[in-house]
Amino acid sequence: MGKILVTGGTGLVGYHLKEVIPNAIYLGSKDCDLTNFSLTEKLIQTYKPSVVVHLAARVGGLLDNIKYPADYFDDNILINTNILKACRTNNIRRFIGVLSTCVYPEKVDNYPMSEDDLFTGPPPVSNFSYGYAKRCLAVQIEAYNKQFKTNYNYLIPCNLYGKYDDLEDKDKMHFLTALMVKIINTKNNTLNLLGTGKPLRQFMYAGDLARVIKEVIEKDITENFNVAPSYNYSIDQMAKMALEFLEKKYVITYEHPKLDGQFRKDVCNKKMLKLIPEFEFTDFNSGFKKVFKIIEKRLNKLK
């Protein structure tokens, strides 16, 4: 595989990736300011990797995206452009960019969305800037491949959850982690959630994405594709299943219905399963229970 460098290596996916590719170089925001091109190029020249897995991004929850749209666009455009340009100018053989299903249109005619739907409409209003910035990375990769004959590609994963999620910054916490924290901290047997519970979401165990990235590197797959399990549940279904898994009889209530966000954003995994036919996703039941136990232990240590 050669030397592998992972940006955003101290985040949720980065920690899971380290479990399956332990010898790669994992760097976080403290190691380099990727919004600065000179520092980014110096980073690539110092480590001289053969493969760059680009996970780094400015990320946050729905409210944070709504509050700081310009910051999300500026930072992500700079980060993506700098790392991609530094890789190209220093002849890095392989670059794998990890996007998000936020890049897809807010609405399409048919679901789940395929890779061909990427440019059929604007991203959701709730995270418009982030979605467009990440979509621009797809455009940049295709442009580099066309002009410079590189073999770079991107993956589009669905929503994630995992045992390494950030527990201290509520604005950056993924939905399922936030749900777990609320269940753990509930004192009166009432679980209060935002929105209406009706939106549909695909959630994937972050360790599954890490295993897909490993397969892409080992098999030198250069195609772009979605990464997501086949199931697609409503927020309410997931909350109820979670309580059932954990054998907790809480009452679920909803508030602030305008904070639902995009109603549906599930993506098709047919292309991925043709490229990696033997791959098996972690089912929601076992994945949730496994992560819940670890999140509970981590929360107890923070108290």
Whether residue 213 has pLDDT greater than 90: yes
- Whether 254 is in a domain gets the answer no
Q: Cα 17–124–114 angle (5° rounding)?
A: 60
Cis, peptide link before residue 122, omega less than 30° from 0: no
- Check residue 258 and give its pLDDT: 82
Nearest alpha-carbon partner for 127 in 155, 154, 158, 100: 100
Kindly state the average pLDDT of the residues 111-138. Answer: 95
- Whether 12 is in a domain gets the answer yes
- Check residue 24 and give its pLDDT: 98
Tokens at residue 295, please?
Answer: 């999140």
- Check residue 6 and give its pLDDT: 98
Confidence of residue 33 (pLDDT cuts 50, 70, 90): very high
- Check residue 13 and give its pLDDT: 96
Cα pseudo-dihedral 151, 122, 274, 20, rounded to 10: 70
Confidence of residue 233 (pLDDT cuts 50, 70, 90): very high
- Check residue 7 and give its pLDDT: 98
Kindly state the average pLDDT of the residues 6-21. Answer: 96
> Could you list the residue range(s) of the whole structural domain that residue 93 is in?
4-165+202-231+265-284
- Whether 8 is in a domain gets the answer yes
Give the relative orientation of helices 12-20 and 206-218 as an angle to the nearest 10 degrees. 50
- Check residue 126 and give its pLDDT: 83
Nearest alpha-carbon partner for 163 in 195, 130, 210: 210
Tokens at residue 75, please?
Answer: 């930072």
Of the candidate ranges 73-77, 119-123, 177-181, 258-262, the one whose mean pLDDT is the lowest: 258-262
Dihedral sign, Cα of residue 123, residue 128, residue 131, residue 132 = positive
- Whether 294 is in a domain gets the answer no
Give me the number of domains the chain comprises.
1
In angstroms, how far is CA 164 from the centroid of its own chain? 13
Confidence of residue 237 (pLDDT cuts 50, 70, 90): very high
Confidence of residue 195 (pLDDT cuts 50, 70, 90): very high
- CA 90 to CA 280: how far, in whole Å? 36
- CA 73 to CA 63: how far, in whole Å? 15
Q: Tell me if residue 160 falls in helix, strand or coil.
A: strand
Using CB atoms within 10 A of its CB, is residue 12 exposed (0-12), middle (13-18) or buried (19+)? buried
- CA 260 to CA 262: how far, in whole Å? 7
Higher pLDDT, 258 or 47: 47
What is the CATH number for 66? Answer: 3.40.50.720
Kindly state the average pLDDT of the residues 176-190. Answer: 90
Q: Which tens digits make up the pLDDT trace of 74-96?
A: 999 999 999 999 999 999 999 99
- Whether 303 is in a domain gets the answer no
Q: Which are the catalytic amino acids?
A: 130
Please check whether residue 155 is in contact with residue 216, taking contact to mean a CB–CB distance below 8 angstroms: yes
Kindly state the average pLDDT of the residues 115-136. Answer: 94
Confidence of residue 115 (pLDDT cuts 50, 70, 90): very high
- Whether 117 is in a domain gets the answer yes
Whether residue 59 has pLDDT greater than 90: no
Specify the DSSP element, H or E, that contains 43: helix 37-47
DSSP-derived letter for residue 258 is: G
Kindly state the average pLDDT of the residues 265-290. Answer: 96
Q: Tell me if residue 262 falls in helix, strand or coil.
A: coil
Kindly state the average pLDDT of the residues 158-170. Answer: 87
Question: Could you give the percent of the chain with pLDDT greater than 90?
Answer: 83
In angstroms, how far is CA 285 from the centroid of its own chain? 20
CA atoms within 13 A on the CB side of 229: 21
- Whether 298 is in a domain gets the answer no
- Check residue 1 and give its pLDDT: 65
* Report field, pTM of the whole predicted structure over 0.75: yes
- Whether 259 is in a domain gets the answer no
Using CB atoms within 10 A of its CB, is residue 273 exposed (0-12), middle (13-18) or buried (19+)? middle
